[in-house]
Structure formats: C-alpha cells, structure tokens
Amino acid sequence: MRTVRVGGINDGQIIYILGVIVVFFRLLPTGNGFPVIGDRETEISESGKVENTIRPEKVYTSSMFEHWSKSGWKSPSWSYKDPAAWASLPGSFCGGDQQSPIDIVPKSSVTKAYPKFTFHNYGNFDKMKIMNNGHTVVYNLAANTPADRIPYITGGGLNDKYQFHSFHLHWGSDSSKGSEHLIKSKSYPAELHMVHYNTKYGTFEDATTHSDGLAVLGIFIKVGLADNEFFQPLVDEISNVLLNQDETTLNRIVSFQNLLPQKTTSFFRYSGSLTTPNCNEIVIWTVFENPIKVSERQLNMFRNLNDAANQQLVNNYRPAQQVKGRIIYYRRYNGCELKESWPFTSTPLLDAFRYSQCLINYALSWE
C-alpha cells in the first residue's frame, strides 16, 4: 500500500490532527475569528468596538480636551481636590454611565481572544516636547516629525488605525497610590497614558467627537530598585517645567517601544471616558496587565512639579468610577499565539495543530 507523505506526516497522522482540531474548535465559543478560552465568554457585535448606539451622538468641542492637548489650559476650573464636583461643570459628562477609570476585577471580566497589538513606528524619537499643563506633564512629538514616522497602533481588537497623539502620567504623593485604574482595588504608584486617535476621523479634534475616537493605552508603573534607563529621558528635563504652562524640549531620545511593558499580550479592554473634565465618553481603553518598573528616585522627580494653583502636583488621579453594567474584556495570554495571517500561512495545518495542542495544554493546566 502506498503512503502519501506530506512534509513528514502520513495519512493517519493527518486524520488524527484534523480530528483534534475539529473537536477542539467545536468545543470552543469563538470571538473575533479566533478560538476563545474561558467560561464567561459573551458575544459582542464587533471586537473591541463598543458603540453607544442607543444614545444620541454627543457634540464635543476641542476646547474640552485641555488635559490631552499640550496647550489651551489657562485657569484652574477644576482640581483633583474635589473630583465629585466635576459632574456639575458646564458641558460636563463626568456624571455619565461610561466613566473612567475603573477598578478592574479580573475574575468578573470576560475572557476574549483579541489578536495581538501591532505597534508601528514605536521607535526612537528625538526632541520631544514636554509641558506642565497644571494637571500633569504631557509629552508630544517634535512638530517636524514626518507624517510617515508618527507611531500608530493596529490590532488588539481595535477596528481602525489609531495614531499617536501624546502621552502623560498620573502619580501619587507616595508610592502607595497614584494609578487611575485599579486592579482588585489596588493602586500602582503611577500610570502612563499613551493617547491615540482614530485616523478615520482625520484629525485628533474630529476624532474626539466620536465614541470610538480615542484609543488610550494604560501602562501601570511600579517601583523597582534600579533606575529605568528608558524612562530617564522623560525625567531629565522635569526641573525645567516645574510650573504650570512651562514647556521645554527633551534632550535625549525617547524609545516608545521601551516604554511598553515587556508583555503586551495580556490586557483589559472596556469603553470609557477621558479621566479629566469634561470626561467625554470617547475612549476605547486598553489597560495592560503587566507593569513597567521605574525607581522611586525617578518617580520623585514628578512629585517636584507644581500644579495650576502653585501647589505640589501629586495625586493627579481620578477615583475609580462605577462600571454600571459595562463588560470588561480580558485578553488573557495563554502562551498560545495563532499567527495573524492564519490560515494563509505556508503550513496552516501544522500551525493549527500546534495552536490547538497549546490550547489543550493550557486548558488542562487551568484551574
């Protein structure tokens, strides 16, 4: 009897592999075209995109985004001393139903198999601008950055291409607090927010008028013993922006790639808002599970800054807001990654076999 050999695999093995794949995939609910593990999977219409279809489209103006822009902020119309008062500011959405930040409870989240993020142009940037806006320090790319070098993100369950706008931080007066998002009610000492806008709306300002206008990456910062060399360029110039509205240029190159956690494969995803007035509900939030580490000395540099009222700029985080029925999705890295191009790879069968094997191992090891 003739045995057909395909890349070292015979008929019997192929039938066995197909059987394993079919049985295993049939057992799994699916989401986003990828198999999903988890007992709490819930279908949503499209991955990562959570639209406010019930409510009418809100009208926003760019002046509402002082915190996210490098300039425009003049008088202290709000402060972190009384966040409860934000809801009664004129034109405020701070009392809405999809507010941020939130306390993330992994056990109550819904596991979802989002694809991995792709970080484009997340390379090195010279001459970034740093500005104290009275609420935080905002970092912007140099104005002459060529359009084709501007960082952007795709994947991760985002339906569109989101271009980098700016980043800023939130921190505490000491390291027992500081992050905006909480994990199981616990704070990190600080949180970095990388703000991106949906390129299908053309400009940042236009994007901020849509419920899927911004994608913000939240990166927890914890304290390590050693200085973080990649974080140091952000810290070097802080003494030149101690006062509200101070602005200067960074002398050293910032590596975007190295501001991200080592693993970006585990993250939480939900629909939320800006965390400063007017708290517009326009943000697709990604909160990475793995933190980055900086030293206490590096964090202390931020604690030297002054706010709009000329007081020490610390505890610039908004308290956790109610989840109010929102689903918090969890991309739980399981050690198995299916290629994004699957099944159009050169060896789809083998890839799928390895993937399902990996999932089986994971399922067996999962408590």
DSSP symbol at 28? S
DSSP string, 64-109: GGGGGSSS---S----TT-GGGGGGSTT--TTSSS-S-BEE-GGGS
Range in contact with Zn ion (rule: CB under 5 A) among 27-35, 56-64, 187-195, 233-241: 187-195
User: What does the radius of gyration of the chain's CA atoms come to, in whole angstroms?
Assistant: 22
Q: At 181, list the tokens.
A: 């998002």
Nearer to Zn ion, 38 or 277 (CB): 277
Nearer to Zn ion, 165 or 193 (CB): 193
Nearer to Zn ion, 193 or 331 (CB): 193
Nearer to Zn ion, 47 or 98 (CB): 98
Instruction: Tell me the residue type at 238.
Output: I
Nearer to Zn ion, 113 or 191 (CB): 191
Catalogue the active-site residues. 135
Closest approach of Zn ion to the CB of residue 172, in Å: 14
For 39-72, letters b (16+ CB in 10 Å) and e give eebeebeebbebebeeeeebebeeebbbbbbbee
User: Distance between CA 328 and CA 349 in Å, rounded?
Assistant: 33
Closest approach of Zn ion to the CB of residue 199, in Å: 21
Mode of pairing for the β-strands spanning 267-272 and 329-331: antiparallel
Residues touching Zn ion, count (CB under 5 A): 1
Q: Find the farthest-apart pair of alpha carbons in the chain and give their distance in angstroms, rounded.
A: 88
Closest approach of Zn ion to the CB of residue 132, in Å: 15
Q: At 95, list the tokens.
A: 């009392």
Range in contact with Zn ion (rule: CB under 5 A) among 22-30, 57-65, 138-146, 191-199: 191-199
Range in contact with Zn ion (rule: CB under 5 A) among 4-12, 33-41, 186-194, 350-358: 186-194
User: Distance between CA 124 and CA 230 in Å, rounded?
Assistant: 11
Range in contact with Zn ion (rule: CB under 5 A) among 27-35, 189-197, 223-231, 255-263: 189-197
User: Distance between CA 114 and CA 309 in Å, rounded?
Assistant: 43
Residue 193 within binding range of Zn ion, rule CB under 5 A? yes
Closest approach of Zn ion to the CB of residue 275, in Å: 5
Binding site for Zn ion (CB under 5 A): 193
